[in-house]
Amino acid sequence: MDPIKVDFTQGGSSGKGKGSGKDAYLAPKKAGLKTLISIIGTIIGAAIAYYFMLPPLNFKSTQLYLYLGLVAVIYIALQVVLSGVIAKAEYTEYVKKKAIVPGAVIALLAVVVGVGMLISSVVFRANSYSKIIAVDESKTFAGDVAEANFQSVPVLDDAAAAALANRALGDLSSINKVSQFELSGKFTQINYKNAPVRVTTLAYGDIFKWLKNTGTGFPGYIVVDMVTQKADLVLLPEGGYIRYSTEEHFGKYLMRHMRFRYPTYLFDEPHFEIDEAGEPYWLCPVLDKTIGLFGGTDVKGVVLVNAITGESEEFTLDEVKSDAALQWIDVIYSNSLLVEQYNYHGKYAGGFINSIIVQDGVKVATEGSNFLAVNDDVYMYTGVTSVSGDQAIIGFVLVNMRTKEANFYEVSGAKEYSAASSAEGVVQDYGYRATFPILLNISGQPTYFMSLKDTSSLVKRYAMVNVQNYQVVVTGETIAECMEAYVQKLKQNNIKIDVDIDEIKDATDNNNPDNPTPDAPPAETKKTVTGKLTDIRSAVLGGDTVFFLQVEGSKKYFRIPAQRAENVVILNVGDTVKITYEKAAGAIIDADSVE
């Protein structure tokens, strides 16, 4: 390769061997062509990087600046390789000249990010950070928090829910898919048909199983009842596969699907929910940076994505809160974001200097969090402690995960993990581990409630610990037994509470997956449909054979277990039937009887 000497003191390129000024440099042969190739290569590299990085085209995203910097680096790297400077050091000045513009771009990006971080810093904007969430501190625990209803108190955590959900995967044998899928590992706690449940999608077992099944997608999802501890694999009607997921790849990978539709949006991590008819959706919270350029992360809306069709629709926060058709949406704010915002409120309400030196009134959330079902909404619960890091809480916070309504309740006592350790100490011979405690109101006494799990994450016992006196700790094989022991223990400590143990036994009789289905609602709430059967399908769900019946003139399916109506097993297409059901919406309706 014959070099070309370029001399800027002589007015530009002067041909081989000419020019001797201090600004002269050697350029490789066909330098112009190689620059063109570098530009084309950079465009291709930028497209590939965008496809995999998926940066939002939004100046409030640090990921955008990282992406632009990477594009500049790609151009410089191509110039280095194509010039041959690695083998011939005399081309160094040529490469330096070519790197001036992309280098300046990188420097400019660094300055913008640095300035953006500075103007967004909590050092200068502490007051703004403290107001990012409004917390009502005027309420009292006994007066505002309803006494515990054990029909809606969740007894499982993620690990226990996953253990039960793994068992439900066996129901895939009904469609010959038992070895093809596994759990995604990401659960969302929601209220479904007035019960706290955790829902999760499936994932492919490995790359080969992905290649085999990605053409159709995932056949269903799993629902784990947090009270009864029953896990069900819900298979979608024929043709209804979950095609868009965080577990997919390429065009059906959810975040890529969303990025190409909403290129400028900042998205929080999406989560899976189902509506009251069991239709699967992905909820993608839309974020905004409300303080400076990069600070004050908050939610300004949500994009709802149908997991089957990929169709999406955007809603504002006001629409989600006011539209009755969207009331099934339970989680818009992630618990990590809510904890972060509360910590800003607790630490910086008195200013940045106060948070570092005096620390008057400074408080932060404890190390963990959990979820409670309250009035058909899901609330995040976390204890609050002083910033000094002692082992006591000074209160706790409940935050509505759909509306961000936050309430602080002043209650002094043991931190959650200290209470969990106390409960584990009672059963240390068994090696049981406690779930993260939930704070309950037991006849005016703030009480930590938790489940005790074995090494397989299956619930074996329950425990209660008095918050203000965590030496009062009891366990029981059932919730009623645990409560009875708790009442006796409090009496021994001269604390009397008014609790009806028989009522608790009645309320928790169904907290066992082996118990039968509760009695049906009164007859006056029922509706009936009569007609000829046009389609019959069946699937094994939760160990029971469930039939799906379609009646002439309707596109809906009526679902009924064989154990509830044995005659359903001998029905054929064309038979005339009378189906009784509750008034319901959706593509699949639960039937009470079939005649």
Q: What is the pLDDT of residues 513-542, one digit of tens each?
A: 443 333 333 334 577 888 888 888 887 665
Nearest to 132 by CA among 289, 330, 358, 332: 289
Average pLDDT (284-309) is: 96
Choices 1.10.1040.50, 3.30.70.2860, 3.40.50.970, 2.40.50.140: CATH for 523-594? 2.40.50.140
pLDDT at position 510 is: 54
- Rounded Cα distance between 504 and 487, Å, is 12
pLDDT above 90: percentage of residues in the chain: 44
pLDDT band at residue 87 using 50, 70 and 90 as cut-offs: low
In order, the DSSP letters of 277-345 are T--EEEEEEEEEEEETTTEEEEEEEEEEEETTT--EEEEEHHHHHH-GGGTT---SS-HHHHHHHHHHH
499-520 average pLDDT score: 55
pTM of the model: 0.77
Q: What is residue 443's three-state secondary structure?
A: coil
- Specify the residue for token string 């469930």: 546
Question: Mean pLDDT for the chain?
Answer: 85
- Find the range with the poorest average confidence among 54-68, 329-343, 492-506: 492-506
Q: Residue 376: is its pLDDT beyond 90?
A: no
pLDDT of residue 525: 52
* C-alpha to C-alpha distances, 89 to 28, 73, 78, 83, 92, nearest whole angstrom: 11, 20, 16, 10, 6
Q: Residue ranges of the domains in the chain?
A: 4-119, 159-332, 523-594
Highest mean pLDDT among 24-33, 156-165, 280-289, 462-471 belongs to 280-289
pLDDT for 583 equals 59
CA distances from 116 to 62, 113, 124, 171, 295 (A): 9, 5, 12, 52, 9
Q: Strand 557-561 and strand 588-594: pairing?
A: parallel
Q: Which residue has the higher pLDDT, 543 or 147?
A: 147
How does 121-137 read in b/e, with b if 16+ C-beta sit within 10 Å? bbeebbebbbbbbebee
Choice between 517 and 257, residue whose per-residue pLDDT is larger: 257
Residues 389-421 have pLDDT tens digits of 667 888 899 999 999 999 998 888 888 888 999
**What's at 110, amino acid-wise?**
A
pLDDT band at 509, cuts 50/70/90? low
pLDDT tens for each residue of 453-477:
988 888 889 999 998 887 899 999 8
Closest by CA position to 291, among listed 363, 334, 360, 340: 340
